[in-house]
Amino acid sequence: METLVFALLNGVIYGLLLFMLSSGLTLIFSMMGVLNFAHASFYMLGAYLAFTIMEGTSFWIALFLAPVLVGLVGMVVERYGLRRVHAQGHVAELLFTFGLAYLIDELVKIFWGRTAVNYRVPELLDFPLFTLYGAQYPAYRIFILFVAAFMLVALWYLLKKTRAGLIIQAALTHPNMVGSLGHNVPLIFMTVFGVGCALAGLAGVIGGNYFVTDPAMAVQMGPIVFVVVVVGGLGSLEGAFVAAMLIGLLQTSAISINASLADIFGFLGLGPHTEVGEITIASMAPMLPFLMLVLILMIRPRGLMGDREI
């Protein structure tokens, strides 16, 4: 029971962070058809910028300023990089973002060094909020929960209830028609790209001190974000949400399961001291998202809730 509750809580928080990261990517992917390889690099950039801003001022300024800065960088990348490569087709676009991720990784290593930086939880939130089954639960995690939930509601409101959201939704599926109606589609693309990157940056700001802020964080997070987008389905934020939650819960609960394969498949004659039998469920947790990715692409290429195939 104890492990279950903690796994659930942590899983939900991880899932919400994942959703924050992948919501921008889903929008960008559905609208422009670009699977942005550098998306997780913007997440890393957010964390590092927040660390620097926090050293100079405070965490609360970083919470607002860092995502805005990351968003601006994203807009510049779209305007002067992606738009230029767009004419050469999807493979060139994918390769461009791949190279960009590589560059951001190296630049981060130049500016902030190769080891992890000491990006810490702000003191105001650095206390145990409540005690559950004798274990203390940090307040910062609940703070993440609230920021993510707020962002979720704000994004939903923006997309479903405002005129701007209406145009964005139309541009998702019918960019040419939207253009014919007199809207500046390239500008919409640039804005969405920027906002998507800003969301990734926000996830970095609040996730960087929850996990570790080091140059490897983009490489670790990047592929998982793809999994969320692909499993959720093209053009569907709801799908991305469900997929993010699913992966968050799956991974955190798998980590807390101590059983080995021999315990589960022992009845098939799998010995506890054979190589396969010794593998624990916990050690398989990092593989689960990719297994899901491959299976989804094979069985249901449109994802859980996608409106079309990739």
Partner 1 sequence: MTDMTATYAGLEPTRAEKFRQRTVPLILFALVLLVIPLFNPSRSMITLLNHMGITIVFALSYNMLLGRAGLLSFGHAVYMGLGGYFAVHVMNWVAEGTGFWGAVPIFSMPAFGFGAGALAGAIIGWPSCRRSGTPFAMISLGVAELVAAAGFMFDSLFGGEMGVSADRMAGPEFLGLSLGPVDEVYWFIAFWTFIGVLGTYAFTRTPLGKLSEATRDNAERVQFVGYNPQRVRYLVFIFAGAFAGMAGGMSAVQDEIFTPESLSLVPSGAILIATYVGGIRYFTGPIMGAIVMTYMGSNLSDYTVGWLLYLGLMFVGVVMFLPNGIAGIVYGTADTLRAGRLGEVWQSWLLRLAGLVLIAVSVITIIEVAFRWSDGYGEVFEPFGLSLATTNPLTWILGVLPLVLGVVLVLKAAKGESK
Binding site for partner 1 (CB under 8 A): 33, 35, 81, 84-85, 88, 90-92, 94-96, 98-100, 102-103, 105-107, 110-113, 219, 223, 226-227, 230, 275, 279, 283, 286-287, 290-291, 293-294, 297-298, 301, 309-310
Nearer to partner 1, 204 or 215 (CB): 215
**231 neighbors 303 (Cβ within 8 angstroms):** yes
Nearer to partner 1, 183 or 302 (CB): 302
Nearer to partner 1, 52 or 141 (CB): 52
Find the shortest distance in angstroms from Cβ 233 to partner 1.
13
Find the shortest distance in angstroms from Cβ 161 to partner 1.
31
Find the shortest distance in angstroms from Cβ 281 to partner 1.
12
Give the residue among 213, 293, 308, 299 at the shortest CA–CA distance from 22: 293
Find the shortest distance in angstroms from Cβ 63 to partner 1.
26
**Which residues contact residue 153 at a Cβ distance below 8 angstroms, ignoring those fewer than 6 apart?**
none
Q: Which two tokens stand for residue 80?
A: 């002067």
Nearer to partner 1, 121 or 297 (CB): 297
Cα distance between residue 228 and residue 148, in whole Å: 16
Cα angle value 201/202/207 (rounded, 5°): 100
Nearer to partner 1, 114 or 174 (CB): 114
Find the shortest distance in angstroms from Cβ 211 to partner 1.
19
Find the shortest distance in angstroms from Cβ 172 to partner 1.
16
Nearer to partner 1, 107 or 142 (CB): 107
Residue 257, sorted as left (phi over 0), alpha (psi -120 to 50) or beta, turns out to be beta
**Burial class, 15, CB count within 10 angstroms (exposed 0-12 / middle 13-18 / buried 19+):** buried
Amino acid at 146: F
Cα distance between residue 214 and residue 66, in whole Å: 17
Cα distance between residue 261 and residue 46, in whole Å: 39
**278 neighbors 262 (Cβ within 8 angstroms):** yes
- Go through the chain and tell me how many residues it has: 310
Find the shortest distance in angstroms from Cβ 174 to partner 1.
20
Nearer to partner 1, 180 or 283 (CB): 283
